[in-house]
Structures are given as structure tokens and as C-alpha cells.
């Protein structure tokens, strides 16, 4: 359409129609400019510096491998996924490590042995790579990233600087999360189950069983123990340990629990509280955690069969320092490589002194 035809058609429009047409043309012109300026996916160029931009929300993570072309950062590879149930409670640094590890794995052949620039919102990610003193999950992250040459740049102005760096107009984080609410997965953070501490009436008689398992890594050998207490006096009724090689930590704990039921077998049936310092065994016995290992399934079923004789029972997960009496017995048997039956009053008094369950 030439200029004369355009002017002829414009002359036939009313004032309102002419305004709407002008706004439409302006919008189309802006759209064309946006399309032209939008970074498009590029092939990886070994001669250019790779840049990784990280993103993490409450339930999703993503990472973009980018490279600069004529002053604009263009994406090379994009990765993303939703967080698993156990990852929803992770801190912000952990959630940024996850997409970083994922992009390094997906683009391993392009990135291995190369210097990589990482854009992050948190300075703690840089500290993670420089420090050797982290334990637990942070220590594992540091070990996994130690083989890479990374320069983490903290964007001091927050996400606006990241968006400026990649030269793209992206919806702000708050609006993105709000827009994605409708498609967010139904996963919820695992709720922490708090078990109330058992109570005892002034005139009530109560049995308490504390058990423990101990293993040795360098030399094969394992031991387990159980102590039966009578309340309200907190006197030691039975205390024994056994030595058995070739057990895992979980198997030793389960055998300590079963050993406790053996010590209870000759006592009058009543209320019993079972205390252990391994959360896995306590939760599996209560049906709150799946038991998938075949060896543990057999031991768990054996313990459940013994538990039927004690309908009034409670399980309590305690800290290890509270379980010192049972721990001492198991550790001593592990050192001697043989079991022990506590009979002397001095040895029983030692167990009472170490007891922190009161």
C-alpha cells in the first residue's frame, strides 16, 4: 500500500477510529522492535566466556548458560525443574546450587576445564566455593563444585542487575511467582512431626526401654544394647549388650530394639516407653517412614511381632547424649568384641549416672 492510498483511507476514518488506528500502529512498531532486540538461542562458541545465570523460587529452579554477542547476552542452553519434596525446605543458597549443578551436568562437554562466570543473588554462594570448613549438605555442595573453575558474581542490586546483564525484559520475580501459582505443583514442605514427651502419673508404674547400636568401620564388628528402667524410681531392671559382626548401623539399631523386647519378656505387661536415638528406626516403627531394605524389613517385622505383646506403648526419639547409658554398653561390647550382662550394683549405678532420660 503506497502513501497516497494510505492517506486516502485515513481521510475516510472518523476521529475516534483514527486515534485507535494510530495506537495500533504504535503498538505494532514497538512489538517489532522488541522482537528484533530479544536475545535468541545461540550455538555455543568455545571462544567466548560462558556465563551461568541462576534462578530459584519456592518450588522451582532454573539456570541459563549464556554468552555475549555484540554486547548482548544470548542464551545457549536453558534448564529447569520443580523441586522435590525434600528440597522444598532447602535454604536459598542450596536452591541456587541445585540449578548450577544441573547446568554443569547438562553442558559438561562444553564447560569442562573452562573458566565460568556465575551470576548469583547471594554472596554465600561465593563463600561456599572458597571455604573448606562447611559440614553436612553445604560441605557436599562444596566438594561437588570443587572441580570447576567458577567466579561467582553477586548482583548487589538484586535481580534488576541480572536482568540488565542479560539485556532482556523479564517479568519481575514477584510477578512471575504470582503468575505461576495456578500451575505450581501440589507438593508441600514436609511437616516436622513433633512427638510430645510421655508423662507419668504420681502412682503409675512404667517401663522404659532405651536401646542403641554401634558399628566399627575400619575393622568389621558391630554391637547393640538395651536397658530396661522401672519408673518412677528410675532403677535398672535389666541391662545387656551383644556383639555381632557384619551389621549395618540401622541393622544394629533394630537388633538393639528387639533385644529390648527380649529383656521385657519376663516382666509384667503394662505401659512401656521405647527410647532410641536413631530417628529412622523410630519413624519406621510408627509407620511414618517407608522401610525398603529387605534386611531391615525382616527386622522391623520381627520387632512389630514382639510389640503386639505390649498394647500400651509409646516411641520416643531422643538425642544421643540422652541415651548415654545404652550407648556406653554398646561401645564397650564393640571394644571387647563380646557381649555383657550388667549385674553388679556399681555397674548399674554407672548407668544411672549416665542416664539423661529423666
Q: Is the pLDDT reported for residue 53 higher than 80?
A: yes
pLDDT at site 133: 61
Average pLDDT over residues 299-316: 94
* Cell numbers linked to 241: 549388650
Contacts of 279 (CB under 8 A, 6+ apart): 317
Highest mean pLDDT among 36-45, 188-197, 326-335: 326-335
pLDDT at site 197: 65
Helix or strand (DSSP H, E) at 69: strand 60-69
pLDDT at site 192: 52
In degrees rounded to 5, what are phi and psi of residue 309?
Answer: -75, -10
Residue-wise pLDDT tens digits, 80-105: 888 888 888 888 788 889 999 999 99
Q: Which residue has the cell 513433633?
A: 194
Average pLDDT over residues 60-89: 85
In terms of Cβ atoms closer than 10 Å to its own Cβ (0-12, 13-18, 19+), residue 252 is: buried
Highest mean pLDDT among 13-17, 32-36, 93-97: 93-97
Q: Which residue has the cell 562458541?
A: 45
- The three-point CA angle 116-122-123 to 5° equals 75
pLDDT at site 325: 92
Average pLDDT over residues 106-123: 87
Residue-wise pLDDT tens digits, 146-183: 889 888 887 655 444 454 444 444 445 555 556 556 55
Question: Where residue 3 falls among pLDDT bands split at 50, 70, 90?
Answer: very low
Same fold, 51-183 and 206-354: yes
Helix or strand (DSSP H, E) at 231: strand 222-231
Q: Is the pLDDT reported for residue 63 higher than 50?
A: yes
Mean per-residue pLDDT over the chain, rounded: 81
Q: How many residues are present in the chain?
A: 358
Superfamily of domain 51-183 in the CATH hierarchy: Ribonuclease H-like superfamily/Ribonuclease H (3.30.420.10)
pLDDT at site 277: 92
Peptide bond into 300 cis (omega under 30): no
Average pLDDT over residues 55-69: 85
State how far the Cα of 282 lies from the Cα of 274, in Å rounded to an integer: 9
Residue 267 DSSP symbol = S
Q: Which residue has the cell 472518523?
A: 14
Strand partners, 236: 229
Domain ranges for the chain: 51-183, 206-354
Report in angstroms the alpha-carbon separations of 11 from 15, 18, 27, 193, 282.
Answer: 10, 9, 21, 75, 84
Long-range Cβ contacts of 84-93 (<8 Å, 24+ apart): 84/187, 85/187, 85/188, 85/189, 85/190, 86/190, 88/58, 88/59, 88/187, 88/188, 88/189, 88/190, 89/189, 89/190, 92/56, 92/121, 92/122, 93/122, 93/124, 93/125, 93/128, 93/138
Handedness of CA 273, 278, 281, 282 (dihedral sign): positive
pLDDT at site 8: 52
Query: Other C-beta atoms within 10 Å of 222: how many?
Result: 22
Residue-wise pLDDT tens digits, 244-303: 988 888 999 999 999 999 999 999 999 999 999 999 999 999 998 888 888 999 999 999
- The three-point CA angle 40-41-43 to 5° equals 135
In this structure, whether the domain defined by 206-354 belongs to CATH 3.30.420.10 is answered with yes
pLDDT at site 130: 72
Long-range Cβ contacts of 85-90 (<8 Å, 24+ apart): 85/187, 85/188, 85/189, 85/190, 86/190, 88/58, 88/59, 88/187, 88/188, 88/189, 88/190, 89/189, 89/190
Amino acid at each position: 500500500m503506497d502513501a497516497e492510498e494510505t492517506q486516502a483511507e485515513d481521510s475516510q476514518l472518523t476521529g475516534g477510529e483514527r486515534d485507535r488506528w494510530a495506537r495500533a500502529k504504535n503498538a505494532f512498531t514497538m512489538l517489532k522492535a522488541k522482537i528484533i532486540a530479544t536475545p535468541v538461542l545461540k550455538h555455543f562458541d568455545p571462544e567466548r566466556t560462558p556465563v551461568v545465570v541462576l534462578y530459584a523460587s519456592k518450588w522451582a529452579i532454573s539456570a541459563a548458560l549464556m554468552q555475549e554477542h555484540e554486547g548482548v547476552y544470548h542464551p545457549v542452553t536453558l534448564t529447569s525443574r520443580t523441586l522435590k519434596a525434600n528440597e522444598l525446605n532447602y535454604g536459598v543458597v542450596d536452591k541456587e546450587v541445585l540449578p548450577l549443578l544441573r547446568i554443569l551436568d547438562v553442558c559438561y562437554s562444553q564447560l569442562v576445564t573452562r573458566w565460568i562466570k556465575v551470576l548469583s543473588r547471594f554472596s554465600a554462594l561465593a563463600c561456599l566455593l572458597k571455604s573448606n570448613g562447611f559440614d553436612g549438605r553445604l560441605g557436599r555442595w562444596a566438594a561437588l563444585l570443587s572441580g570447576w573453575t567458577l567466579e561467582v558474581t553477586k548482583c548487589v542490586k538484586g535481580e534488576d542487575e541480572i536482568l540488565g546483564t542479560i539485556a532482556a525484559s523479564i517479568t519481575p520475580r514477584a510477578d512471575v511467582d504470582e503468575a505461576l501459582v495456578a500451575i505450581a505443583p501440589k507438593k508441600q514442605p514436609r511437616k516436622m512431626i513433633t512427638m510430645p514427651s510421655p508423662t507419668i502419673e504420681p502412682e503409675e508404674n512404667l517401663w522404659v526401654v532405651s536401646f542403641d547400636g554401634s558399628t566399627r568401620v575400619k575393622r568389621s564388628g558391630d554391637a547393640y544394647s538395651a536397658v530396661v528402667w522401672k519408673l518412677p524410681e528410675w532403677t535398672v531392671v535389666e541391662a545387656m549388650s551383644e556383639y555381632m559382626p557384619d551389621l549395618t548401623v540401622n541393622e544394629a539399631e533394630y537388633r538393639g530394639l528387639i533385644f529390648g523386647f527380649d529383656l521385657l519378656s519376663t516382666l509384667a505387661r503394662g505401659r512401656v516407653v521405647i527410647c532410641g536415638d536413631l530417628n529412622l528406626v523410630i519413624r519406621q516403627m510408627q509407620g511414618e517412614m517407608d522401610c525398603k531394605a529387605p534386611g531391615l524389613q525382616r527386622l522391623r517385622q520381627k520387632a512389630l511381632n514382639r510389640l503386639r505383646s505390649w498394647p500400651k506403648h509409646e516411641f520416643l526419639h531422643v538425642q544421643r547424649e540422652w541415651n548415654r547409658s545404652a550407648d556406653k554398653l554398646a561401645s564397650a561390647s564393640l571394644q571387647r568384641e563380646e557381649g555383657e550382662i550388667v549385674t553388679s550394683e556399681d555397674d548399674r549405678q554407672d548407668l544411672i549416672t549416665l542416664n539423661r532420660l529423666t
